[in-house]
Chain A
Amino acid sequence: MVRTSRNTSIVAIIAIIIALLAVGWITAGSIGNFGITVMSGLFQGMLLFLVASGLSIIFGLMDVLNFAQGAYFMIGAYVAYDVQHVGGVIDLTTTIPDPNIRFVFAVIAAIIVGAGLGVILERGLLRPLYARPVFQLVLTFGVSLVLAEIVQFIWTTTPYSWTETFGIRESFFTLFDQRFSTYRLFVIGMGVVLIVGIAALLRYTRIGIIIRAGVEDSGMVEALGINVRAIFTLVFTLGCAIAAFGGAVAAPFLGASSTIGTSFLLQGIAVVVLGGMGSYVGTAVGSVMVGLAIAVAQSAAIGTDFSALPSITPMLLLILVLLIRPSGLFGGNAR
């Protein structure tokens, strides 16, 4: 029974990806354009993964759907922007004149801020509410609103677009007579490293084993004398830090605005549900699928009246998958 459902999932995944690539091929017209679509799809897929992986692991272990994940993405983008540019709250432009090194610091600052806020949220606000899961959901929703307000208070409501240039963002390489951005390739690479890294963490380390055991039955793990609460804090912080990292590496392309978090949160949630809640593999596969679907929709929508198509694509894909497999591609029995 389990095996057949897993098989139908894999068939469904392959079918959907082939269908997406076929549509992408038809709308692209040339191999160069097709390459750009695929690359843009993988790029967006990796950004989605950076939001969705945190959602997925936190949900799997703690049964908390962290609606503030998008806000952490947004904060990562703002912090990275702030550190990189002249006249921010933290102005490093005179201390570190080289923009490339400064970008590394910007990303690190974003991760630290994200992790710090993650610890505060889990320890201070979520911990009293483990007996009341409905309120946890509502609380993280409220926290995301407050974080958005704080960001608007510090950095005003005007969206920022990234102006500071640095080496890797500006460089291109040529393939099939098309110029591809190296930065996108870099983000895709980072995404793959993270996917593999987190998978290895979950698979081979002691903490990973505890996390996986906690996903199965956290009460039992606690009964074995392991401090599950500490693991909860760790996982929650890790999820928030990854989201902030995502915001930071997305900022050079997407800039920083207060709405960036919400759109990534919604797409990230679509990814998590589509992949099967709490399934890490499902989240990784779902991210790539949704990213590709968005890119194909973007390329298909060029020059037509369906300019809203890319933004509703994740939801359409989600509805499609839920109709075929109600618990998501890699989900267990959801009932």
Chain B
Amino acid sequence: MTPPRNSLMQTLRENWLPAAVMLFLILFPFIVGALTDSSPMGVARGDRMVMRGESVRWQSVLIEVFILGILAMSYNLIFGFTGVISFGHALFFGLGGYILGMFLEYTGMDTGLAMVLGVVVGVAAAGIVGLIVGFVSLRLRGVYFTIFTLAVAEMCYIFFSRWQVTNAEDGFTIGSLPAWLDPTQSRLNFYYIALALFAFTYLFIRRLVNSPTGAVFKAIRENEDRAQAVGFNTLNYKLISIALAGMLAASAGMLQVILNKKVGPEVLGVSYTVDPLLMTIIGGIGTFNGPILGSAGLHLLDVFFRDATITIGETSIQIANLWGLLLGSGFILVVIIFPLGIIGTWQRWRLKARGRIAKAARPDPSMNPKTEP
């Protein structure tokens, strides 16, 4: 029984870790700047800023972590909390990127207006596409949805890599960005925007999953037939979950194309489906922090080891060449040995250590879509 006036302190006490991480991330550009003696704003050259120095470099690394984190969290909403596997998450990511890019480059509107319209239309389109794909395939049980999403995503990838209007495989660069957002002009601003969206996604998913709607999501994951028997229209709830996840993924795709100032078919490529899948599973399915840990961990490892080489006797092997192999093998090991991922396994150990029966945290046999009631 907590009196209302203590609720803020109570919230902080319960969530000290996310709050501390958030504080660290807000101060991060300045901490790196102070440690490496570089300006978080970049180096001024005339009236333009040049993005040089350790602080600016690390900002872009973290922006990539935020983008992958948003993508992984949105994937976790469908996969981890609603129990539906999509192999076409790149569709939403790429769609968001393409729509924003086309608004900025092809409509000839004022940059600010194009930006706002592009974001609104892109997010809405991702939601609508999610609804359509879900409506066509979700009425069927089992793997149909998985296959269908893979097929649609791959179709879009092929389409955009052949479409002459968007320069097919080469894609197009985004030249006209509002100056306050342009990552080559004011990366610090863009860093905070990405961070804000990242934090928003985290809070939004937590709020959603802890709401009555989220309870139905989890019920569908555990046993869809029972959720239906209780009287919920499970199709509608699954559609909501997919549309929301698609909208979040689209916003991540928009951040990605702004960061690279380029739109190409690679944003629709299968790697933007594989990455969130790996990150979610390695971090911990159906946990709030797992996808974040997975995306941050994997991306930072990738950045650290990208240029490293191992030398065994005569032969030296570049880690970058082995990266995919290591990632895939690690993923297989996690799937077989630690199916709950890092966070899930840790939570289970903690529960066991406290002497509670960890029965609730068992790997979910009910995620079997073919389980008969």
Contacts and interface: CB of A to CB of B under 8 A. Distances in A.
Contacts of B367: 132-134
Given A138-B281, A143-B332, A266 B139 contact: no
Interface in A135-168: 135, 137-139, 141-143, 145-146, 148-150, 152-153
Nearest to B146: A137
A8 interface: no
Given A133-B368, A141-B277, A273-B144, A311 B325 contact: no
Interface stretch (A22-30, A110-118, A316-324): A316-324
B354 interface: no
Interface residues on A, range: 35 or more
Contact of B158 (A138, A148, A308, A334): A308
B325 A318 contact: no
Interface in A106-133: 125, 128-129, 131-133
Contact of A326 (B140, B150, B365): B140
A266 B151 contact: yes
Given A273-B144, A312-B159, A128 B150 contact: no
Given A141-B277, A315-B154, A134 B139 contact: no
A269 B151 CA distance: 9
Contacts of B148: 322
Chain B CB within 10 Å, residue with most, of A125, A133, A134, A153: A134
Interface string B152-179: 1011001101111000000000000000
Contacts, number: 113
A281 B117 CA distance: 50
B160 to A, nearest CB: 9
Contacts of A323: 136
A100 interface: no
Chain B CB within 10 Å, residue with most, of A125, A146, A150: A146
Contacts of B368: 132-134
B87 interface: yes
Contacts of A307: 162
B332 A142 contact: yes
B325 A149 contact: yes
B339 interface: yes
B141 interface: yes
Nearest to B270: A262
A266 B136 CA distance: 18
B38 interface: no
Contact of A132 (B140, B277, B278, B339): B339
A294 B154 CA distance: 16
Nearest to A124: B336
A307 B154 CA distance: 16
Given A146-B325, A153-B325, A308-B158, A334 B140 contact: yes
A125 B158 CA distance: 32
Given A65-B143, A132-B368, A153 B274 contact: no
Chain A CB within 10 Å, residue with most, of B151, B163, B277, B278: B151
Contact of B369 (A133, A135, A143, A149): A133
A63 B142 CA distance: 10
Contact of A141 (B87, B163, B365): B87
B332 A125 contact: yes
A270 interface: yes
A132 B363 contact: yes
B137 interface: yes
A327 interface: yes
A305 interface: yes
A153 to B, nearest CB: 7
Chain B CB within 10 Å, residue with most, of A142, A152, A305, A319: A142
A139 B370 contact: no
B324 A149 contact: yes
Contacts of B281: 138
Contacts of B146: 65, 137
Contacts of A3: none
A269 B336 contact: no
A277 B281 CA distance: 27
B155 A139 contact: no
Given A308-B158, A334-B144, A315 B151 contact: yes
B147 interface: yes
Contact of A138 (B85, B163, B164, B364): B85
Contacts of A334: 140-142, 144
Nearest to B370: A63
B322 to A, nearest CB: 8
A206 interface: no
Contacts of B274: 141, 145
B335 A308 contact: no
A44 B5 CA distance: 71
A315 B152 contact: yes
B328 interface: yes
B78 to A, nearest CB: 12
A142 B331 contact: yes
Contacts of A266: 150-151, 154
Instruction: Give the top 5 A-B pairs by smallest Cβ distance, nearest first.
Output: A146-B328, A308-B162, A149-B325, A149-B324, A145-B328
Given A129-B335, A266-B150, A277-B142, 12 more contacts: A125-B332, A125-B336, A132-B364, A139-B335, A142-B332, A145-B327, A149-B325, A262-B270, A269-B151, A315-B154, A323-B136, A335-B141
28 contacts: A65-B147, A129-B336, A131-B363, A132-B339, A132-B363, A132-B364, A134-B368, A137-B143, A141-B87, A142-B278, A142-B328, A142-B331, A143-B328, A145-B328, A146-B325, A148-B324, A153-B325, A266-B151, A266-B154, A270-B151, A308-B163, A311-B158, A312-B155, A312-B159, A318-B151, A326-B140, A327-B140, A334-B141
